[in-house]
Structure 1
Amino acid sequence: MCVLRVVPNLTAADMSAAVDEHAGVLGLWPVMDHGWIVTLADGEGHQLSVMTPDASGPVNPDVSVFVNDVREAFERARRMGVEIVHPLTEEPWGVTRFFCRSADGRVINVGMHTGAR
């Protein structure tokens, strides 16, 4: 299992204003828009996500970490006794993911692109 990408997640009350602000200030543009989460990027692969309440999770994660084997990451978290905040779930938008809470209280969305159902 290896990490492929790490994306910070910012919660916004006004999605449109937040997207416009980060696009204008940072020169990023939307590369994914599900309505409740928009990921902005540049041509170098740097990314930032802005979100309103998560579509299926109980809380908004602080960061998303994409891996090549989410089931292995989930089993590692379980073996270590890490708190699972959102169970391993195949989401309808083509991501399999789970949320865990780090020792410092941060919520990590660990996921893998698996294709839309």
Structure 2
Amino acid sequence: MTVRRVVSNVRSEAMRENREFYGLLGLEEVMNLGWVMTLASPTNPTAQIGVMTDDETGPVVPDLSIEVDDVDAAYAAMRDSGAEIVHSLRDEEWGVRRFFVRDPNSRVINVLTHLG
């Protein structure tokens, strides 16, 4: 399994203010679904931050998102290890397959891969 990127997620109701603030540091909006916005470096597109008001289908706003090349293998590894699955593996309508797992620090990690 290969990690493609790691994104820190920030829970906030101030989407516009975050876009402007992180824009001062050179990040640009690359995705906005209303409840989640991704800001990325135009010169290093895997350098990203997510800003979320909530999670559309998940029970909580995850602390981190980790994109992997094989989310099914990641899910099996976490489930088999006994890690707490917070949100079961599923395909989401916005084009990702994902699950949430709790890490040893009680942080919720969104593990995903893009579909198609």
Shared fold (TM-score, shorter chain, > 0.5): yes
Give the C-alpha shift of residue 22 in structure 1: 1.2
Whole-angstrom distance in 1 between the partners of 2:19 and 2:82 = 36
Give the C-alpha shift of residue 11 in structure 1: 0.8
Q: 2:44 maps to what in 1?
A: 44
Whole-angstrom distance in 1 between the partners of 2:81 and 2:113 = 20
Whole-angstrom distance in 1 between the partners of 2:93 and 2:19 = 24
1:27 equivalenced with 2:26 (yes/no): yes
Q: What residue identity is the alignment partner of 1:81?
A: G
- What secondary structure is seen at the aligned counterpart in 2 of 1:27? coil
Give the C-alpha shift of residue 15 in structure 1: 1.2
Backbone CA RMSD of aligned residues: 0.8
Q: What residue identity is the alignment partner of 1:31?
A: V
Whole-angstrom distance in 1 between the partners of 2:96 and 2:4 = 14
Normalising by the residue count of structure 2, what TM-score does the alignment of the two structures yield?
0.95
1:9 equivalenced with 2:24 (yes/no): no
Out of 86-95 and 36-45, give the one that drifted further.
36-45
Q: What residue identity is the alignment partner of 1:35?
A: G
Identity of aligned residues (%): 47
Whole-angstrom distance in 2 between the partners of 1:31 and 1:14 = 17
Whole-angstrom distance in 2 between the partners of 1:71 and 1:36 = 26
Out of 8-17 and 67-76, give the one that drifted further.
8-17
Whole-angstrom distance in 2 between the partners of 1:36 and 1:6 = 19
Q: Return 5+ residue gaps in structure 2 as ranges.
A: none
